[in-house]
């Protein structure tokens, strides 16, 4: 298949490097432990989807949600719609209430720990996903609890998406930028060396990035190359940030309602998109 040619693999590895070039939280140290070509493999999964794709996102910060995760989730949602798939964003409140009028969403609720496996099993049976993606979604630690980047236990405010991946009968993709997100269990030993409470939940393909949102643009670039059509030209992270800000989002690092991602100006994400465009010309 043409998607396995050395050229595509080389570009995938260039994208993988671009996604961790700033390395604010050690993701560049994790990348060598992943099998090269993970962007290509994940992009192929996206490209072949025509059925339902679940996109889990939403990291609680204070009493609201952070910008990292939902921006990328919306970017992937729009890409999948263009590809003819049926994307559904899976999240809890307050993000669910913020998005449900404009996007197809499925709500997961907090404080249902005893019923979590059953809830996920029933949902997976009903929704029948062809692919499950988690982007910047809190993942279980070894104590089956959730912790943020500061090590604070945020379980009381977290709806659970872990079982949607571990019980899925389809491929799963995890995207993270710190080590406490779903999917990072793939590199549990390596993540344990970082200043984070590591997640134990695994996935089929793990993608690491300086900002989780940015992985969505890396995947879009790779899908564009596979299809011979530029799907990045319409990417507008600033517009998505403005949309989310109006609904009460905060930056996950500063905890302020700003048009930023993990403390970085929106222009950083746009610069990445510009650099990705050069790769797929």
Q: Which residues on neighbouring strands pair with residue 66, listed in sequence order?
A: 250
pLDDT 10s digits, 33-90: 999 999 999 999 999 999 999 999 999 999 999 999 999 999 999 999 999 999 999 9
Task: Please state whether beta strands 264-265 and 131-135 pair in parallel, antiparallel, or not at all (unpaired).
Answer: unpaired
Q: Give the pLDDT confidence score for residue 222 in this predicted structure.
A: 98
> Rounded CA gap, 233 and 218, in Å?
13
Query: Are 40 and 230 contacting, i.e. CB atoms less than 8 angstroms apart?
Result: no
pLDDT classification of 4: cutoffs 50, 70, 90: low
Query: Are 146 and 153 contacting, i.e. CB atoms less than 8 angstroms apart?
Result: yes
Q: What is the mean pLDDT of residues 10-23?
A: 97
pLDDT classification of 118: cutoffs 50, 70, 90: very high
Q: Residue 238: is it exposed, middle or buried by C-beta count within 10 angstroms (0-12/13-18/19+)? A: middle
All domains of the chain, ordered by start, with CATH?
2-275 (3.90.1640.20)
> Rounded CA gap, 146 and 197, in Å?
9
pLDDT 10s digits, 167-212: 999 999 999 999 999 999 999 999 999 999 999 999 999 999 999 9
Q: Give the pLDDT confidence score for residue 176 in this predicted structure.
A: 98
pLDDT 10s digits, 224-237: 999 999 999 999 99
> Rounded CA gap, 255 and 96, in Å?
19
Q: Is the pTM of this model over 0.85?
A: yes
Statement: residue 265 has pLDDT above 70: yes
| Sequence-separated (6 or more) residues with CB below 8 Å from residue 260 | 67, 241, 251, 254, 266
* End-to-end Cα spacing for the chain: 21
Statement: residue 1 has pLDDT above 70: no
pLDDT 10s digits, 126-169: 999 999 999 999 999 999 999 999 999 999 999 999 999 999 99
Sign, CA dihedral 82-84-90-96, equals: positive
Query: Are 243 and 66 contacting, i.e. CB atoms less than 8 angstroms apart?
Result: no
Q: Give the pLDDT confidence score for residue 114 in this predicted structure.
A: 76
Average pLDDT value for the chain: 95
Q: Give the pLDDT confidence score for residue 3 in this predicted structure.
A: 45
Statement: residue 111 has pLDDT above 90: no
Per the document, the length of the chain is: 281
């Amino acid at each position: 298949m043409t998607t396995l040619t050395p050229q595509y693999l080389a570009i995938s590895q260039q994208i993988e490097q671009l996604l961790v070039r700033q390395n604010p939280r050690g993701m560049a140290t994790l990348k060598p432990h992943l099998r090269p070509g993970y962007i290509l493999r994940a992009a192929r999964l996206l490209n072949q989807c025509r059925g339902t794709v679940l996109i889990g996102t939403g990291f609680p910060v204070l009493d609201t949600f952070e910008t990292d995760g939902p921006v990328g989730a919306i970017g992937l949602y729009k890409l999948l719609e263009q590809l003819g798939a049926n994307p559904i964003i899976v999240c809890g409140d307050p993000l669910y209430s913020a998005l449900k009028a404009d996007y197809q969403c499925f709500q997961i609720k907090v404080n249902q720990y005893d019923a979590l496996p059953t809830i996920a099993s029933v949902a997976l049976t009903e929704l029948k996903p062809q692919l499950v993606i988690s982007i910047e979604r809190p993942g279980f630690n070894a104590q089956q609890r959730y912790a943020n980047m500061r090590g604070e236990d945020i379980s009381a405010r977290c709806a659970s998406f872990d079982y949607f991946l571990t019980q899925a009968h389809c491929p799963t993709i995890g995207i993270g930028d710190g080590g406490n997100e779903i999917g990072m269990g793939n590199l549990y030993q390596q993540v344990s060396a970082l200043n984070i409470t590591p997640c134990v939940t695994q996935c089929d393909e793990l993608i690491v990035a300086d900002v989780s949102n940015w992985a969505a643009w890396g995947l879009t670039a790779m899908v564009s190359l596979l299809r011979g059509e530029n799907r990045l030209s319409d990417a507008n992270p600033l517009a998505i940030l403005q949309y989310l800000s109006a609904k009460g989002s905060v930056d996950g690092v500063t905890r302020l309602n700003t048009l930023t991602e993990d403390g970085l100006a929106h222009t950083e994400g746009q610069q990445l998109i510009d650099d990705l465009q050069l790769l797929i010309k």
